[in-house]
Amino acid sequence: MILETGNLKLQITTLSLDETRALGQKIGATVTGGTVIALTGDLGSGKTSFVQGLARGLEVPSDYYITSPTFTLINEYPGRYRLFHVDLYRIVNPFETEEIGLSDIMGGDGITVIEWADRIEDELPAEHLHLQFEILNDETRKIFIHAYGSKKNILLKETRKWIEEKK
């Protein structure tokens, strides 16, 4: 992993899917209840791989296979905190999220991770993490992490510390 830091944000380059999952696992192990994580990036950029790691960090049992809920829109998993994995790829109108109860989920004490979160950018809570995934080649991803809110800044600092220790 390669780390570049900035004010309230990190830029990380992962060199494999395993590193992308490891980043997710670290954030999952550190995150607290009520956190919303917004994910953006092209198809195949690593969003679901990140969520697979996040689930392990949240202690979701290993017999749960984490897949993108493209057609179900929301998958729910038990763990240290309940994980709500949301995929808005098929959402055309932000008002459709009301029908699936997204605001109720984001307002709860579980962890809500939203793929294609750019479709509801204005609906995200003031305090959240935003991870933007960029494909560099078959295995390498550049991930920009932005923290919004003081609690998320603490999470970002913990993530930066973990990455620096791995060097």
Flag residues of the chain having pLDDT under 70.
1-8, 94-95, 150-154, 166-167
* Residue type at position 13: T
Using CA atoms of 18, 25, 39, 157 in order, give the dihedral in degrees to the nearest 10: -120
Please give the model's pTM, rounded to 2 decimal places.
0.88
Return the domain boundaries, the chain: 2-166
Percent above pLDDT 90 for the chain: 53
Work out the mean pLDDT of the chain and round it to a whole number: 86
The alpha carbon of 163 is separated from its chain's Cα centroid by a whole number of angstroms, namely 17
What does the pLDDT look like over 62-93, one tens digit per residue?
A: 999 999 887 788 999 999 999 999 999 887 77
CB-CB neighbours of 92 under 10 Å: 8
Pick the CATH number of 2-166 from 3.40.710.10, 1.10.150.250, 3.40.50.300, 3.20.20.80: 3.40.50.300
Q: Which two tokens stand for residue 75?
A: 């998958």
**Beta-strand relationship, 83-87 and 111-115:** parallel
